Structure 1
């Protein structure tokens, strides 16, 4: 920890070098506005309760040494990842639900933009989780809340005021959604941004890693976690608070030949009805079903593991 503290002070004592984009290579703090890919809207936000399952993929040589979405330089041999909505940077634990292998990675990029993928790991991350050869894996992605706040505070210090003002300003006007709305869970309180004082922010004490060019990168430490055997794949259309919405979605699915199951789930104190298709016997099958459902206009659908 003494070494990490010294590295942190040294990194903050000088201005980090700039990339070809004009942004520091240590990256900036960025959330971003809602955006659309292939007819699906994504809503980036600070969500320090994030805990989801789905299918991971990985990206490597074609993007190596190129800028990420928040201005860092992608290194396929570091433990980083791309996510569609989480703040950049943040730290998440990714667990392979097939073998129990688990690593912590730094989210510093946007993606993956295949609808059926929840996170895009660096090549090193895929190697450590054991799916470099297969290309995909069933995973659980959990944000590390306090650690993510710490590295976000450090990244804010190197963020140009104009970008920081955009991040911290009023929420952007919501992008249009489909006719069927997923019931929202309890509101997530957005923390007050750390003051930009220039005071060095120490790296997280709970995650092994090192400070490289002013940014904290997790160490390649693999934890072996217990996982349930035979995790099942589903396409989840949404979780709804009213019977009318459930009936409307089930009718839409029936019209395309996809029978759905309905089960109860809780979001905070709110009871919701979860509408799913499955279980499905492979990632390829789940991808095919998801694409059919998205084309039917149910654009909140996603692949989950349960």
Structure 2
């Protein structure tokens, strides 16, 4: 078993989970280290991407430096301008429900990731360089500690990028500034998706709740078919200031887990 040294500001239990379990996972062959569900659950492709927003640095997981298996990692003061290409891996049900380095519970069905140096939390766009698929994830954990990898994705994020079967793949990771910095907002005409439901009644209830908050226009886009999805979307909206104003309004109303959809 490796010796993991504790750094100031990082609880021993947190560093143990981040430094030891993820290290063992990252160093072991993919086939034996972890797995996802037997089959992707319904709706996995429709999980909304996290919207970059202004968040304070996590109380946990952000020491100036920490050591894992004899190697020292230095946490970046800022993610601004960060961009890197390298190998991504993913972790799944072996760690599902365990505590991440930020103190949050790991959910393999959420769009999150682990990184050794980025501040927690940081929002990044990850692009699979083989198929050009991309996804926005929220970095809330530490890892991977294998020297040839730069990011460890949640199962859901790896599924979105088409990396689950291969286990690893070459990616580009780019930090996204928070909305307050005027970056990370898409250009062009967009809708903001607030929720997606299998039951039409739940979608109607959310639409009515948004309208009671004075948020308009709100539309429900329904897919036909036996397993149709009913998506509640605000817009269309155009222009950075207008989109930002609506995001702020939704956040004040308690709707922060939103997703951009190009109109």
> Under a length normalisation based on structure 1, what TM-score does the superposition of the two structures give?
0.41
> Under a length normalisation based on structure 2, what TM-score does the superposition of the two structures give?
0.47
Larger radius of gyration: 1
